[in-house]
Amino acid sequence: MAYEFKTRRRVEFGDTDCAGIAHFAVFFRYMEEAEHAFLRSLGLSVRQPQGDGSVIGFPRLSARCEFARSVKFEDVVDIHLWVSRKSKKTIEYSFRFALNGEPVAQGRVVAIACQIQEGRSIRSTAVPPAMNRLLEVAPYPPLAFHAAAPSRSPAEGGGA
């Protein structure tokens, strides 16, 4: 059984903004790429054909990323993924990003198993048995994220 995966990703020019800093949105792509590589390393996929013409896919229920510092074009980022929770229908992955051993960001993605068949509604389903057998929850504590700041109206001095 597996619960973690480590990989590296070079920040490409197309991942950056005009200042050469990785755009925040690429971290969500990096998380997805790490998840796919992890599953492939186990002989699995986020798209699992079924015998009836349908596929089991894993749409996102939620995704979150918080940043500690920026990374730039040509930086090589270490990505550590682990399975932080599992339920009958969902898998939660946690991610830590580091540059030269220093924390860069952390994220979390919750995916739900869904049966997808052409011309029919997508419906949630159980995580496929082979995947459920191969993935286990890591022994690491759950990630802590900063609490969301309470929303304030413009009259209270918040946002424009």
Instruction: Encode the chain (160 residues) as per-residue pLDDT tens digits.
Output: 899 999 999 999 999 999 999 999 999 999 999 999 999 999 999 998 888 888 999 999 999 999 999 999 999 999 999 999 999 999 999 999 999 999 999 999 999 999 998 878 899 999 999 999 999 999 998 888 887 656 555 555 554 4
Domains and CATH numbers, the chain: 4-140 (3.10.129.10)
Burial class (CB in 10 A: 0-12, 13-18, 19+), 55: middle
Amino acid at 68: A
pTM recorded for the entire structure: 0.87
The H or E element spanning position 159 is none
Q: What are phi and psi of 95, to 5 degrees?
A: -135, 140
In the chain, beta strands by DSSP E: 4-10, 48-49, 55-57, 60-67, 76-86, 90-99, 102-112, 114-116, 123-124
Contact criterion met (CB below 8 Å) for 59 and 111: yes
